[in-house]
Structure 1
Amino acid sequence: MAKDAKVQSKNETFVADETETLVESRPASRGVWRSRIKLHARHLSRSTQFVIAAALILGLTMFFVGKLVSARIERAAVQSAAEAGAHYMEAFLEPYVQEMSRDNGLSPNSIKSLDRLMDSRSLKRHIVSIKIWRADGTVVYSTDKSITNRQFPMDEIADALKGNVVTDLEDLDQEENEFERKLNVPLYEIYAPLREFNTRKIIAVGEFYEKAESLEQEINRVRQQVWLVVGTATLAMLTLLFFLVRRGDQIIQRQQVSLRLRLLEQTRLHVSNAALHRKINTATQEFSRINELTLRRIGADLHDGPAQLLTLILIRLDDLAEHCTTLDQESLETIRGAATDALREVRDLSRGLALPEINDLTLTQELQLVAERHEQRTGSKVQLNIATLPDSAPLPVKLCLYRFVQETLNNAYRHAQGKGQTIIASHEEGTLRITVRDTGPGMAADAMVVDGHGRNRLGLAGLRYRVESLGGVFSIQSSPGSGTSVSARLRV
């Protein structure tokens, strides 16, 4: 029993797994089909997609319109034929049913007269069967004698008893239609109210079955005409819409091709500009490096050339001073003073052009170094307001930073006598901002651009070019009596 239970549980598990796999595979297959349909639809042109969608929507709409119109026409044709047939049969049947207002039935003579009427050839060409119904649903006369005096449901004669002509093309599946079914011909039945001559009161309902071949042919012909008109109109609208959409689609395609060409050209120009930008950056960095080397060489040449010659002049002047008169001593002192000043300036220039080794320094240490050297050289005080800065930066940025602060401090010392010299440095969201301020007399607006001879100030222009060559932003804020503030922003 235990083994059987285990086998049964395994079978149930297998069946459950298989069922789940089948259930899961169906949505997967549906998803595959949907993806395939979407893939094929994407490869179709817009005009084709529009025509397919319009054909579905317009086709369904016109189909329902055609069905509605056909049904209305068929109903109208049948009702018209029924009205004509009803008036025709009322003229034949009403004289024989007048006695039903008194006897509630037909006499044998009336039945024989109706039978002779049905044997008429002219009538048989159209009418195949007649029934006369009493108000309670009893058949008092019928071509099929087997249903005479039998009572049937009153669903079909209820409207006729209200004075309406009722007609329908039907399948003749009711019990009282067995005789008509055996004829195997298309028929439509008409229920017409039969009235008393004097009071026009409905005393019976006449039912007759008329051959429907000609009526069906007429209905089919009208239906074909309706569908032909509907189909032609639908096809014409689809064709017109297709050409309109196709024209718009062609315009869109031409615009897309033009946009693609422009996009390719823009992409090519962007790549070219990026390459040029990289070359410019490389050239800028190389220029900065060469410029620093040139400045160092000039500083070295000044130190090794004019500075040494001026030192030699001072030594020779000391030798000559021992053999000169008092008048000559005064001249020698003047020459010695001039040579000493010249030597000091040459050494200052040499020291300023010779940039210290800053590769291993952080940005904070670099700013502290340039401030310290400026204080040693000028004897002025520099205040530092430095926030947290990155420890490392590219060498061109370090060189630009050193020269920017060095030149702005020199300008502050030269034009503001070193009053309120302050270095402010901060770093936010990858942008390094350096500002050097003083509290001197400031500058006029035109003085920040042009000097008295109509030439750009070389110091400020050099700073601007140096900062902007690295993609930075250079700015000056100054007005008479409020000091000067020079700022630089660089991406780090």
Structure 2
Amino acid sequence: MCTETKAQSNSETLVAESDQTLVGSEAGQTSSGGGPGGQSPRAKLRHLSRSTQFVICAAIILGLTMTFVGKLVSQSIEDATIQTAAETGARYMQNFLEPFVQGLTTVKELPDATIQTIDHLLSSTSLSTHVVSVKIWLPDGTIVYSTDKSTVRKTFPTEEISLALTGKIYTELDNDFEDDNEDAFERSLNIPLYEIFAPLREAGTGKIVAVGEFYETAEALQREINNLRKKVWAIVGAATTAMLLLLFFIVRRDDKIIKQHETALEWRMDEQARLHSNNAALQHKVTTANHEFSRINELTLRRIGADLHDGPAQLLSLILLRLEELENSQGASDEEVLEMIRRAGEDALNEVREISLDLALPEVTDLTLHDALVLLAERHEERTETRVELELDALPDDVPIAHKICIYRFAQEALNNAYIHAGGKGQKLSASHCEGLLEVQVEDAGVGIPTEKPSVPGRGRTHLGLVGMRYRVESLGGVFIIESAPHAGTKARAQFKI
């Protein structure tokens, strides 16, 4: 049963975007019922747009205000119209009736001839078309003349004529008539009337000797008042509607601007939060990578020290020991010992050169990534006397120098591992670039990476090299993947967004 071992970079999956909403919309309050149907009017109002809320509030306030204004203006116009008509009628009736009441300063009733003259004038002149009834009151409330003869010489309360006795002209519409006996005749006509009281004065002295009351048909006056009311309400309604529409368009435009700014601010704050989260995650990864690099560098230095101690140092120690033996032989020549010293010196020199070659970075600054990988393969083949299969697609020429060095070191370490642990069997170096993703892969056909811990001290260099490759790749935001299975070889892959 094959077991596949994979080591994958933590940077393969980016930090998920923060789902915290920094600028949230205000939730509507619900009523004690809790359900959508149980929301209070205030909660429902909050769900509406600002312009709609403004229109509703403005309509209520302006509606009440303009209704009050309309009623006040229409009532004022109605009172002014009635008063004007009353004053006009009163002046006319004063001129008509005052000549007939001059004798009331000495007597308390009108002669029959005067009454007949008034009756004749009222029935034969144009007054009969709009004046339906006339009364003349004495200051004590006695009626001395009336179109309705049944009320003549009768006395009634003086409340109605009290204003006229003070010299003022008073008028009222028929809907204000009280249920008095003196108005029975006029009420029986069943037509709209308005009642006018005017003071009648004595010629020369101006003393009020009587009060003239007459009833005039109010149909024309009411039509005029109704027309004026319609005009007033039309003007008030048009003005209210115009103000509401104007304010609505202004508020709606400002509401759209506010919403656009809120949306832009929300997006910017969300983006800021996401970037902050990503930056924090990247900062953490950089800090971790720095720590790991320090640890790997320390381990690498220890490995180099161990290599120098176990290899060239031991060989040099052997050479020195043999040299001492030659000195102690008192000049006797020993060709076998000299040959052994020569071989040990050559081996020490070769090991020092190999270690130096691993530490020294070739001049890749002026080379393209393609040429650098070709050079790496050639040098590896020359050093190990093995073959490396190259499969390089079209690679970008503007790869940053940091990425170029990282890729070179990654491929160099992977090929060294392939030579050491797979005997150079099936070595293959491939690279491709597609849709901004640069991928470099080194594979071999060896026995794979063992899952158990090494039993021999110093043989854990493979795992140390994998950790170093991983953090080297991740430090530049890349993804490191290692795939291996027993007797199925090993694949090391590095991916970069370039």
Q: Is the 8 A contact 1:137 1:154 kept in 2?
A: yes
**1:135–1:203 contact (8 Å) kept in structure 2:** yes
Match of 2:246 among 240, 247, 259: 240
Quote the residue 1:155 is aligned against: 159
Is residue 2:272 matched to residue 1:259? no
| Greater fraction of residues in helix | 1
For the 8 Å contact 2:165–2:211, the answer to whether it is kept is yes
C-alpha deviation, 1:47, in angstroms: 2.1
2:150 aligns to what? 146
Superposed CA RMSD: 3.9
CA contact (8 A) 2:32 2:38 kept: no
Give the 3 Å change call, closer, same or farther, for CA 299–182 of structure 1 in structure 2: farther
Q: Which residue type is aligned with residue 292 of structure 2?
A: E
**Which whole-Å deviations, capped at 9, do the CAs of 1:290-349 have from their partners, x for residues lacking one?**
46656877899999999999x99xxxxxxxxxxxxxxxxxxxxxxxxxxxxxxxxxxxxx
Q: Give 5+ residue unaligned stretches, structure 2.
A: 1-30, 319-498
Q: Which of 77, 82, 90 pairs up with 2:86? A: 82
- Asked if 2 retains the 8 angstrom alpha-carbon contact of 1:118 and 1:124, the reply is yes
1:115-166: CA deviation from partner (whole Å, max 9, x where unpaired): 3344336322111111212112232322233333333332221211111111
Partner AA of 2:254 in structure 1: G
Partner of 1:203: 209
One-letter amino acid of the counterpart of residue 102, structure 1:
T
Cα distance in 2 for residues equivalent to 1:53 and 1:32: 23
2:71 aligned with 1:67: yes
Of residues 58, 74, 77, the one that matches 1:54 is 58
Task: State the one-letter code of the partner of 1:249.
Answer: D
TM-score (normalizing by structure 1): 0.52
Closer/same/farther in 2, CA of residues 187 and 256 from structure 1, 3 Å limit: same
Distance 2:38 2:151 in 1: 61
1:181 aligns with 2:187: yes
Amino acid in the other structure paired with 2:201: R
**Change beyond 3 A, Cα 1:293–1:145:** farther
The SS at the match of 2:63 is helix
Query: How far is 1:271 from its partner?
Result: 2.6
Tell me, yes or no, if the aligned pair for 1:86 and 1:165 is still in contact at 8 Å.
yes
Q: Are 2:129 and 1:125 equivalent residues in the alignment?
A: yes
Q: Partners of 1:307 and 1:175 in 2: how far apart?
A: 146
Question: Within the alignment, does 1:99 sit opposite 2:103 as a pair?
Answer: yes
Q: Between 274-283 and 73-82, report the one with greater CA deviation.
A: 274-283
Residues 42-51 or 290-299, more deviating: 290-299
Q: Distance in 1 between matches of 2:80 and 2:291?
A: 95
**What is the alpha-carbon distance in structure 1 between the residues aligned to residue 268 and residue 181 of structure 2?**
81
How far, CA to CA, are the matches of 1:39 and 1:297 in structure 2?
Answer: 72
Alignment partner of 1:136 is 2:133: no
State the alpha-carbon separation in 2 of the partners of residues 166 and 209 from structure 1: 12
Give the distance between the partners of 1:133 and 1:288, measured in 2 at CA: 124
Write out aligned runs for 1:222-371 (5 A). Answer: 222-287=228-293, 289-290=295-296
For 2:110, give the aligned amino acid: L
Question: Cα–Cα, structure 1 residues 274 and 106, in superposed 2: closer, same or farther, change >3 Å?
Answer: same
User: For each residue in 1:232-282, what CA deviation from the matched residue of structure 2 results, as whole angstroms up to 9, or x when unmatched?
Assistant: 222222222222222222222222222222223223212322321332343
Structure 1 residue aligned with 2:10: none
Change in 2 beyond 3 A, CA 1:255/1:210: same
How far off its partner does 1:288 sit? 5.4
The CA distance in 1 between the partners of 2:218 and 2:252, in whole Å, is: 49
Give yes or no for contact 1:172–1:181 (8 Å, CA) kept in 2. no
Give the 3 Å change call, closer, same or farther, for CA 82–298 of structure 1 in structure 2: same
Q: Distance in 1 between matches of 2:81 and 2:133?
A: 21
Provide the C-alpha distance between the structure 1 equivalents of 2:238 and 2:231, rounded to a whole number of angstroms: 10
Counterpart secondary structure, 2:156:
coil
Letter of the 1:116 partner, please give it. H
| Pair 1:48–1:105, CA change in 2 (3 A) | same
- Which residue identity does 1:148 align to in structure 2? V
Residue 108 (str. 1) matches residue 112 (str. 2): yes
1:103 partner SS: coil
Distance 2:142 2:38 in 1: 62
- Greater relative contact order structure (CA < 8 Å, 6+ sep): 2
Q: Judging changes above 3 Å, is the alpha-carbon distance between structure 1 residues 32 and 148 closer, same or farther for their aligned structure 2 residues?
A: farther
Please say if residues 70 and 226 of structure 1, whose CA atoms lie closer than 8 Å, have aligned partners that are also in contact: yes
8 Å contact from structure 2 (residues 135, 214) kept in 1:
yes
Q: How does 1:414-453 map to 2 (within 5 A)?
A: none
Given that 1:170 and 1:187 are in contact with CA atoms closer than 8 Å, whether structure 2 keeps it comes out as no
Please state if 1:36 is matched with 2:36. Answer: no
